[in-house]
Amino acid sequence: MKFAPCPENDFRDFYTEYYERCRELVPKIEAIAAKWTFEDLLPGLSDFDTRFICNDSMKPRDWTEMSMAVGHVHTSLAQREKKWARLLEHLPGINVTWEELVDWTRYYPECNQWSFYLGDADKLEEAQRTLRSYEWTERDEYFHIKKFSIYYGPYIRGIDPPINLGPFENKYPLHSRIWHYLVTPLQSALSILKKRTITGKKETLRIAHECLNSKRLIERIIDIVERHYEIPELCEDPGMMEFEEELKELLHEAYCAIVPELTIIESCPDDTPDDLRKRVKEVDVHLVQQFFELIKFSRLMKGRLSFYSEEILWFDAIPCLRIELNRIGAWFYKQPLTVYGWLRWGKEMSAEEVAEMLRGDIWTDEDYHAVMEFARLAILPDNTDEYRPVAREICAILDELIMATEKLSSVVRRDFSLTRD
């Protein structure tokens, strides 16, 4: 098996140009962050999970304008730089103001896994100091045990197909198994063990080497990553199958280590992955927390769908588009409205019933009709392959949906409290 050599690390060039060009169009963008640490970004294989922090003066209309402006930069860079196709897999996910970044009501434990690269140094230091001051709580534990439960168990082949990897595609099977489906849950398990969110993936492996018994396997995993996955015997069966079994056992060891530390669920070392997922699903999560976790990706979704709707020869957008279109109906309509129904009226209501109650109250007729049109478009017919036309239709009404969502978000922040655990 032949491998393309590890390419030059140009992540810094990428995020610098991306940030500067986005700021030219949207001056209220004041900092750029991304998940994990710089040493975790593996050239040729990693994407760049951008997060923008914006000025506190952002209004709902500013978010809709920012969405398309950032989408324009994203598209132009993808068209110009074929080598950046992997880095440009998606627009920035979570985008917040400085106030929202440190607001306890909207606190999202993932922000402790962000590295801040460029922006107002004083504001960045102040925000990070505030975030560091928060003690570990049940919200952090829930975030991490939920993430662990998603990945816990044997690797499911076909779950993570290679996209936009070019000459590095034959390295991706190992990268997927280690960097995505081993280290991600391991990171959450060790965060629970240490009672602090671990930021980096390589940091996770170093801590795992200190805390777990499978030291030789962890040393081997570190070596595989450092060699940029150029291990032919692990890239096909039977070597790959045997390695998958070792990784599964390592996750089980990590689970056994955190069982005594878990406070929000009952657990035991013999739990199956399904047992764990069932118990996590039964955790009583505060409704305000649920609401904000559901809508957190909505602000730049129009730009994201618009980008995926472009036909760029060297960018395979359809798998990404399929994922988004299959989840945004639940994330931005059905689930947040159902949660709001419980918050305000204290009973189970359908999203349609809640939307009707909001009409003439928080929402104008225009807001209501945009939300209902989104609900109609976001329910995809079975076996559809018309993803780009549907995405373009949704883009046409997403500004109005985001405006309605931001109005509802403001009311939740004003009328419903979320106290410290």
In this prediction, residue 380 carries a pLDDT of 75
Cβ-Cβ contacts under 8 Å for 34 (sequence gap 6 or more): 15, 48, 49, 50, 51, 114, 115, 117
DSSP 52: E
In this prediction, residue 381 carries a pLDDT of 66
CA 82, CA 166: separation in Å to the nearest integer?
10
Nearest CA among 102, 165, 164 for reference residue 134 = 102
pLDDT, mean of residues 380-409: 88
CA 305, CA 71: separation in Å to the nearest integer?
9
Q: How confident is the model at residue 76 (pLDDT cuts 50, 70, 90)?
A: very high
CA 200, CA 183: separation in Å to the nearest integer?
10
In this prediction, residue 419 carries a pLDDT of 59
Higher pLDDT, residue 191 or 289: 191
Higher pLDDT, residue 88 or 379: 88
Query: Do 32 and 52 meet the contact criterion of CB atoms below 8 Å apart?
Result: yes
Q: How confident is the model at residue 383 (pLDDT cuts 50, 70, 90)?
A: low
Nearest CA among 398, 382, 402, 406 for reference residue 309 = 398
Residue 252's CB is within 10 A of a number of other CB atoms, namely: 15
Q: Percent of the chain beyond pLDDT 70?
A: 98
242-279 confidence digits (pLDDT tens) = 999 999 999 999 999 999 999 999 999 999 999 999 99
Q: How confident is the model at residue 353 (pLDDT cuts 50, 70, 90)?
A: very high
CA 330, CA 328: separation in Å to the nearest integer?
5
In this prediction, residue 153 carries a pLDDT of 95
- Burial environment of residue 386 by CB neighbours within 10 A (0 to 12, 13 to 18, 19 or more): exposed
Question: In 56-197, where do the E strands start and end?
Answer: 95-97, 114-119
Q: How confident is the model at residue 226 (pLDDT cuts 50, 70, 90)?
A: very high
In this prediction, residue 99 carries a pLDDT of 95
pLDDT, mean of residues 284-290: 92
| CATH architecture observed for domain 286-421 | Up-down Bundle (1.20)
Lowest mean per-residue pLDDT among 117-121, 242-246, 384-388, 397-401: 384-388
Neighbouring-strand partners of residue 363: 359
CA 308, CA 173: separation in Å to the nearest integer?
24
Q: How confident is the model at residue 421 (pLDDT cuts 50, 70, 90)?
A: very low
- Cα distances (angstroms) measured from residue 167 to each of 83, 86, 308: 10, 11, 22
CA 229, CA 364: separation in Å to the nearest integer?
55
Question: In 109-243, where do the E strands start and end?
Answer: 114-119
- Is it the case that residue 382 has pLDDT exceeding 90? no
pTM assigned to the model: 0.93
Rg (CA), the chain: 22
